[in-house]
Structure 1
Amino acid sequence: MLSVSRERLSDWCRRNLGAPVDEVLFEHAHLSMVTGVRLTDGNLVVVKTRPFAERLHGCFEVQKILHEREFPCPEPLVPPTPLDGLAATAERLVPSGALLAARAAAPVLFADALARLIADAPSVSEAPTLDPAPPWNGWDHGAPRTWPLADDLDVDLNETPGPRWLDATGERVRARLAATSLPDVIGHGDFESQNTRWEGNELLAVHDWDSAVSRPEAALAGQGERRVRCHRQTRRHPPHRRERTTPRRVRRSPRPPLERGGTRSGLGRRAVGPHVQREEGIRPDMDALRPCAQSGLPHS
């Protein structure tokens, strides 16, 4: 578990933001530690700490350019800077907004927001590297086996028992994406409900810019669409609840261990229904997920 002492955090804020911490507003740790603070000068700031990676400089620059172009995202304040052996960044806290309410117009609003983001983002040549992509976007991870190294599990997913069709589908997905001639664009690799805040139909802020990636636009759009469609096909709830898209990281409770037949990283664990497992303790119906995962893919 990542941790930074309050004293060191306050000192970091004093040195990089001009004022120490007056009050900690919230704190959460998962792949990174996110701390909302009020400084003694009254400013509200979010400090994010995680292990250093070169791509964090590119993520910060993408967020900075998007903010300058008036795309709704928090104002970045401090680029990756050492803090207790980790890399810390700071951005201005956006305290208001809500998840987009479930209704018929929600998919169109999300699609318009993603299109706006990609249109406003810098070109690949304008930003520092965003490689390597996070595992759930990392079909080109370069390892000889199907599944990339998970960022949140201490297991080799290639050695985890599971349905053979899922491995076969993963291989076909990798082959198809690797063969594309579509150019990369800069976008958000985790463009889901929990990373957006809205006021009515107006997009207020997109969060989690550590997930900035350079991928083909079709892959960025397809990733979000596939999650929504698979989620709706596998939920066993009354119709009014099927319209709600449950985000991947709404709840930060400990993840259940992988079981035989459980889903995997990338196409499986990330893309088809892990939120069902974490939100309500329901394991995805793998037979129901199979046609969803394989639709539109050519057979080898």
Structure 2
Amino acid sequence: MTSPGCASDPGLDDVSDRTTETERAVHGTESVAELRAFLSAYASEQLGSPIRKVRFRAGRIDAVWGVELDDGRAVVIKGHRAPTGADGIDSTDGIPAVDAIAAARDAQLVLSAAGFPCPEPLSGPDDRNGRVLTAETLIAGTVPDGRDPAVRRLLAAGLARHIDLLRARPDLLRRAGAGPSWCRYQAGPWPVPHDSIVNFDVTPAGYDWLDGYAGRASGQILTGRAGAEVVVGHADWYAGNTAVQEGVLVGTFDWELVADTEAVIAGFAAACYAASSTSGGGLSSPAEAALFLQDYEAARGAGLNARERRTASAATAWIVAFNARWEVAMPNGTSEEGPNLSLAREHGQDYLDLAW
């Protein structure tokens, strides 16, 4: 649901002539050479060394460059997309967008100090000519197949562990806020999307059922989470944002935070954990989501109670609904429904009633 930060290393210096759509949205330039010069100057100023080589360019929300510096360090530099709210303020909970980025940085510092496999922040958030930049260490690794049961267990364990580690920083609860748009069920359908390429203001004819389904999911979450402890976790926890080597989780990327109950965050992850380029992408089936939540309970060393299970199920359903709504808003030039719409239409109740 967000830009991949995984550090592939093709060994190529990617200097194609024109920037990507994401790079243009973030940096406002069509020239890769101009953007490289800008980022190299930033690296020289903040990290003490200019860019020698570009390893990769990625990102669907933020513009992500994996680079090697002249001093030999491998670094990721991110240009962060402007927030959807006015004046740098998030449109739902009034948290300045740069504060949410700083909260993610502080979470990474806590986790990396504890030996958790995430990049170590090096600089930022820094404002350069109205653009918000961050830099962090680059971790090389292979994007895993999220549908491999062993990987599923690694992901469940990694989620449980980092949520537990971040309990030591209760200040992150306020600073993280409600997270990116796909986490924002609180007001019912629909949140302001995180990318202006789609508009959720008016649901097209024939999809009123999807509004109703999302409303049921959000209502079930709100009922179940009432009075429960709020924690902080990764807002986009899925295989495509991780790296695995020899059966070990060695990297976790794109650290956007969400503050919510443990059941809700686990349900969000259950919906999308398997998605990656190696597993063919796609949201979880109800059976796959249930298996992830079962593994999550095993990793945390305690089962979720009946109320928490219903909450996690509803959070899974909400993510399916959100992604289906995104498909509705994206013109695809065909009359065929996308895969997420099909999941919501055919298995909507199954997600709300997950059993494990």
Q: 2:240 maps to which residue?
A: 194
Once structures 1 and 2 are overlaid, which stretch shifts more, 111-120 or 63-72? 111-120
Q: Distance in 1 between the 2:159 and 2:254 partners?
A: 14
TM, length-normalised to structure 2: 0.65
Between Structure 1 and Structure 2, how many residues are aligned? 262
Distance 1:155 1:227 in 2: 20
Identical amino acids, percent of aligned pairs: 27
| Structure 1 residue 174 corresponds to structure 2 residue 218 | yes
The counterpart of 2:177, out of the listed 131, 146, 153, is 131
Displacement of 1:177 in angstroms is 2.1
Query: Deviations 1:129-175 (Å, cap 9, x if unpaired)?
Result: 012410111112x5xx6200111244431403152222112112222
What is the CA–CA distance in structure 2 between the aligned matches of 1:284 and 1:23, rounded to whole Å? 38
Please give the secondary structure, in 1, of the residue aligned with 2:117. coil
**Per-residue deviation at 1:226?**
2.9
- Gapped regions of structure 1 (runs ≥ 5): 232-242, 249-264
* Residue number in structure 1 paired with 2:250: 204
Change (3 A) 1:29 1:103: closer
Distance in 1 (alpha carbons) for counterparts of 2:215 and 2:147: 34
**SS of structure 1 residue aligned to 2:26:** coil
Q: Cα deviations across residues 268-290 of structure 1 (Å, max 9, x unaligned)?
A: 2427996xx99xx9722745533
TM-aligned CA distance change 1:132 to 1:113, over 3 Å: closer
**CA offsets 1:175-224 (integer angstroms, 9 cap, x no match):** 22223222111111110110010013210011001x21111111111112
CA distance, structure 1, for counterparts of residue 340 and residue 125 of structure 2: 41
Distance of 1:292 and 1:40 partners within structure 2: 52
Q: Does the aligned pair in 2 maintain the 1:186–1:213 contact within 8 Å?
A: yes
The whole-number CA distance in structure 1 between the counterparts of 2:140 and 2:272 is 27
Indicate yes or no: 2:110 matched with 1:57: no
Q: Is the Cα–Cα contact under 8 Å of residues 181 and 192 in structure 2 kept in the other structure?
A: yes
Among residues 168, 192, 195, which one is paired with 1:152 in the alignment?
A: 195
Deviation at 1:118, TM superposition (A): 1.2
CA distance in 2, matches of 1:110, 1:152: 27
Q: Which amino acid aligns with 2:265?
A: L
Query: Which protein is richer in helix relative to its size?
Result: 2
The one-letter code sitting in structure 1 at the alignment partner of 2:345 is: R
1:1-300 matched pairs, under 5 angstroms:
1-3=25-27, 5-50=35-80, 51=82, 53=97, 54-100=99-145, 102-123=147-168, 125-127=170-172, 129-140=175-186, 142=187, 146-161=189-204, 162-179=206-223, 180=225, 181-209=227-255, 211-227=256-272, 244=279, 246=281, 266-270=319-323, 283-284=338-339, 286=341, 288-295=343-350, 297=352
Cα distance in structure 1, aligned partners of 2:60 and 2:270 = 25
Paired residue secondary structure (2:49): coil
Gaps of 5+ in 2: 1-24, 30-34, 83-87, 89-96, 284-317
TM-score (norm 1): 0.77
Cα deviation, residue 22, structure 1: 1.5
**CA RMSD of superposed structures (Å):** 3.0
Tell me the amino acid that sits aligned with residue 138 of structure 1: R
Query: Could you report, residue by residue, the CA deviation over 1:29-85 in whole angstroms, capped at 9, with x for unpaired residues?
Result: 421110111111111110001136121111111111111111110111112001231
